[in-house]
């Protein structure tokens, strides 16, 4: 195995460091204008801003979250006056979600910040060729497939002495 195996281990160490940094970034609150939000809140607002009058069902599918988790997020963001709910007149159990004016302002601030970050990252990768970037994408996709298998095979919870498949996302 030799050198290639050592490179593989270095690749995984680099991946783990990147994961830790992403996790740390996603776990910390961020300032958007005069509002402090966590990434999960901002991602939710982003989906609503990108798709006005979206429903909780559609958001839950897009984000891979349960309807219950999305409903909790809606309550939190409505309380912060960043989101509105409008009942569907044809289906009383369904609500359309939209950003408030304040929510729209934060959405725009976030889009500008995101673009700035994307440009900074893009510039930092300028020394890599298209071929090198394609190779990285290929390696990452292969790793993601393996990681998914790990999740599928090992996503088991111990609940009251019984094994239960972990379906949470």
Would you list the domain boundaries of the chain? 2-127, 129-169
Cα Rg of the chain, angstroms: 20
CA distances from 2 to 7, 142, 143 (A): 9, 21, 20
d(CA 168, CA 130): 36
Contact 109, 33 (CB under 8 A): yes
Against a cut of 0.85, is the pTM above it?
A: no
Average pLDDT over all residues of the chain = 91
Contact 84, 78 (CB under 8 A): yes
- In which residue are the tokens 């680099």 written? 14
The domain over range 2-127 is classified in CATH as 1.10.10.10: yes
In percent, the amount of the chain with pLDDT more than 70 equals 91
Contact 59, 48 (CB under 8 A): yes
Tell whether the model's pLDDT for residue 164 goes beyond 70: no
Phi, psi of 166, deg, nearest 5: -80, 110
Tell whether the model's pLDDT for residue 161 goes beyond 70: no
Q: How confident is the model at residue 169 (pLDDT cuts 50, 70, 90)?
A: very low
How far apart, in Å, do the first and last CA atoms of the chain sit? 36
**Residue pLDDT, tens place only, 82-117:** 999 999 989 888 999 999 999 999 999 999 999 999
Ramachandran quadrant class, 53 (left: phi over 0; alpha: psi -120 to 50; beta: rest): left
pLDDT of residue 2: 77
């Amino acid at each position: 195995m030799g050198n290639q195996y050592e490179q593989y281990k270095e690749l995984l160490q680099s991946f783990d460091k990147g994961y830790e940094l992403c996790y740390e970034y996603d776990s910390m609150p961020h300032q958007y204008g005069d509002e402090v939000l966590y990434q999960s809140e901002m991602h939710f607002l982003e989906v609503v801003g990108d798709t006005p009058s979206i429903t909780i069902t559609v958001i839950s599918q897009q984000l891979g979250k349960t309807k219950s988790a999305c409903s909790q997020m809606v309550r939190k963001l409505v309380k912060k006056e960043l989101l509105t709910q409008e009942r569907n007149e044809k289906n009383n159990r369904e609500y359309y979600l939209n950003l408030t004016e304040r929510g729209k302002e934060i959405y725009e601030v976030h889009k500008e910040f995101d673009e700035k970050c994307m440009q900074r990252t893009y510039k930092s990768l300028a020394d890599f060729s298209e071929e090198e970037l394609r190779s990285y994408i290929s390696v990452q996709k292969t790793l993601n497939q393996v990681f998914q298998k790990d999740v599928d095979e090992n996503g088991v919870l111990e609940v009251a002495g019984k094994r239960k498949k972990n379906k949470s996302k």
